Amino acid sequence: MKNYQVKRGASERAVTQSILSVIGKCVDQFGPGCVGVQNILQARCPLVRFAHQPSGFQCDLTANNRVAMKSSELLFLYGQLDPRVRHLVFSVRCWARAHSITSSIPGAWITNFSLTVMVVFFLQQRNPPILPTLDQLKELAGIHSCTFTAMLLCSFLSIVLYCHTNAKDSNYTFEKLLQEFFEFYGNFPFNKASINIRKGKEQTKPETTALYIQNPFETTLNISKNVNATQLERFVALCRESAWLLQQKEILNQSSDSPWGFTALLLPSVTSGAGVKSRRKRKLEPASSRIKNLLDSLKIKGGETVAKKGKRI
Q: Sign of the C-alpha dihedral, residues 249, 244, 131, 263?
A: positive
In eight-state DSSP terms, residue 253 is: S
The fold for domain 67-266 equals: Poly(a)-polymerase, middle domain (1.10.1410)
Residue closest to 223 by CA, chosen among 146, 124, 121: 121
pTM for the whole structure: 0.72
> Coil, helix or strand for 77?
helix
Say which DSSP state 2 is in: -
Q: Judge contact between 16 and 262, C-beta under 8 A.
A: no
Asked whether the beta carbons of 143 and 125 are under 8 A apart, the reply is no
Residues of the chain with CATH 1.10.1410.10: 67-266
Residue 215's Cβ-count burial label (10 Å; 0-12, 13-18, 19+) is middle
What tens-digit pLDDT sequence spans the chain (313 residues)? 556 566 676 787 888 888 899 999 999 999 999 999 999 888 778 889 999 999 988 888 888 777 777 788 888 888 888 888 999 999 999 999 999 999 877 788 999 999 999 999 999 998 888 888 888 877 766 655 455 555 555 455 555 555 555 555 567 788 889 999 999 999 999 999 999 998 888 889 988 899 999 988 888 889 899 999 999 999 999 999 999 888 876 666 666 566 667 777 887 775 554 344 444 444 444 444 545 555 555 555 445 544 444 444 4
